[in-house]
Structure 1
Amino acid sequence: MVRIVVFGAGGKAGRAVVAEAAGRGHEVVAVVRDTARYADLAGSGVAVVAGDVTDRSQVAALVKGAGAVVNAVAPGPGDAPGTFFTAAANALVDAIAGAGGGRLVAIGLSACLDAAPGVRVLDTPGFPAQFQDFARAHAAALDVLWQAPATVEWSVVVPAMEFDPQGERTGTYRAGDTGLLTDADGVSRISYRDFAIAVLDEAEQGAHPRTHFAVAY
């Protein structure tokens, strides 16, 4: 059992990660901006605490002594995605490095995977223009991790293009590499609950150090 700090614990992915981590017997710190709004997260092995992932002093205090840190954050109504994701990544990297190092597992975006060797999904001609800014903000946060000190054992787990919040926990998934991962029918899909399994496996084992990798059925 280790102490796992989950930033963005109130979102769909964050909730799935918290549930999976608690189910494995870990001590979970669920970080949200408004504890009153997410009081239902609290339970056996789960403490809900207030924190802003872009506030470096708060992040440093929260990650101290953690066995692993999970970044499942998403921008809120008052956040600008173009700066939010990089601010969060910088705060987490600085805090973990300042604590002497540790494991950071972030949730990525399928648009940042390769559709073909050297060509990201977001750079393909058919990628929707309305999602470009959001995708490039994610890509910029990934660039922050590429430049992180060696003491920060980071990895980014990237969900499939069809990220199903209602899907069951089957207990199965496939882990790929930096390329988009699809099944025999060309479908890229994973449920939140099975994705959370992949996130916790990475938090526990660190099998994909200093890279991002696709997860799908």
Structure 2
Amino acid sequence: MTETRTKTSAPRVGAEHLGTDIVIFGAGGRAGRALVREARSRGHRVTAVVRDPDQHADLAGPDFAGPHLPGGPGVRLLAGDVTDPRAVAAAATGHAVAISAVYRPDIPAESLYVGAARALKDGLTRAGTGRLLVIGIATLAETAPGVRILDAPDFPEPARTFSLGHAAGLEALRSGTPGPDWVMVLPPMEIDYAACARSVLDEIEHPAHHRSVLNLAAPAVGRS
């Protein structure tokens, strides 16, 4: 069942403190770059984790610099593998929040998203990072209780396979050891990456969802 925007109470992370440390895995993609930009525009420090830093050197440049922060640069660019718990722990140590916005067309979706979910739970626990936001896919949203968009009979098969990979990743977050407090964010079908990033940063600064799915296409309920 897809949980939507039901608010619960929790301590704020970053709302009253300039420069919350956020590590973003998959920072080189469209969603990741929007997240880096939005986090920096709000004054948070970012570690941008990518597979090949040389291909994404602009993330550490002036276009993503944001407001000045004491104690170092606003964006630190780092090579890392989100499916390796040791690499996750190394990248995340010292960070309050992690975001996963990974996408790799060269490996099966289920292998990527299940492997990432398990490595993030393990690695972030080792690192002491207590909050995880995962960018999911709109097709996991429900059109009726227990019926997802991807379950429609006429849903294209290649897209279904990719969506089921995300679904398997969600189940990996839900199962096994608890790990950090996680939220899977489902963007609308017609995704606006900047708007999605704003919603993710809102959730970081004012946590309202815990071990659940946040469907950005659903009407807000008690959203602050």
TM-score (norm 1): 0.83
Task: Give the match's secondary structure for 2:150.
Answer: helix
Q: Which moved further from structure 2: 199-208 or 32-41? A: 199-208
SS in 1 for 2:205: helix
The code of the aligned residue for 1:109 comes to I
**Residue 54 and residue 210 in structure 1: after superposition, are their counterparts in 2 closer, same or farther (change >3 A)?**
same
Match of 2:133 in 1: 105
Q: Residue 95 of structure 1 is aligned with which of 117, 120, 123?
A: 123
Task: Write the letter of the residue equivalent to 1:27.
Answer: R
Q: Secondary structure at the match of 1:47?
A: strand
- Judged with a 3 Å threshold, the aligned counterparts in structure 2 of structure 1 residues 92 and 151 are, in CA distance, closer, same or farther, namely closer
Instruction: Rate the CA distance shift 1:209–1:148 in 2: closer, same or farther, 3 A.
Output: farther
Alpha-carbon distance, 1:101 to partner: 5.1
**Aligned counterparts, 1:119-130, within 5 A:** 119-130=147-158
Contact 1:6 1:30 in 2 (8 A): yes
Between Structure 1 and Structure 2, the one with more strand by share is: 1
CA deviation vs aligned residue, 1:150-183 (integer Å, no higher than 9, x gap): 45110011100111xxxxxxxxxxxxxxxxxxxx
RCO comparison, higher one (Cα < 8 Å, 6+): 2
Kept after mapping to 2: 8 A contact 1:104/1:203: no
Give the conservation status (yes or no) of the 8 Å contact 1:97–1:149. no
Structure 2 residue 172 is the aligned partner of structure 1 residue 154: no
Q: What residue in structure 2 maps to residue 47 of structure 1?
A: 76
Question: What SS does the aligned partner of 1:37 have?
Answer: helix
SS of the counterpart of 2:55?
coil
Residue 66 of structure 1: aligned partner: 95
Q: CA 1:137–1:18 in 2, change beyond 3 Å: closer, same or farther?
A: same
Cα separation, 2, equivalents of 1:20 and 1:148? 32
Q: TM-score scaled to structure 2, two decimals? A: 0.80
Structure 2 unmatched runs, 5+: 1-18, 66-73, 220-224
Shift of 1:100: 4.0
- Which residue of structure 1 lines up, in the alignment, with residue 14 of structure 2? none
Matches within 5 A, 1:1-217: 1-43=19-61, 44=65, 45-77=74-106, 79-100=107-128, 102-147=130-175, 149-163=177-191, 191-216=192-217
2:60 aligned partner, one-letter code: A
Aligned residues: 189
Does the 8 A contact of 1:101 with 1:153 survive in 2?
no
Q: Which amino acid is 1:140 matched to?
A: A
Rounded Cα–Cα distance in structure 2 between residues aligned with 1:64 and 1:73: 19
Structure 1 residue 117, shift from structure 2 partner: 1.2
**What CA RMSD, in Å, does the superposition of the two structures yield over aligned residues?**
1.5
| 8 Å CA contact retained: 1:93, 1:148 | no
CA gap 1:4/1:101 in 2 versus in 1, 3 angstroms: closer
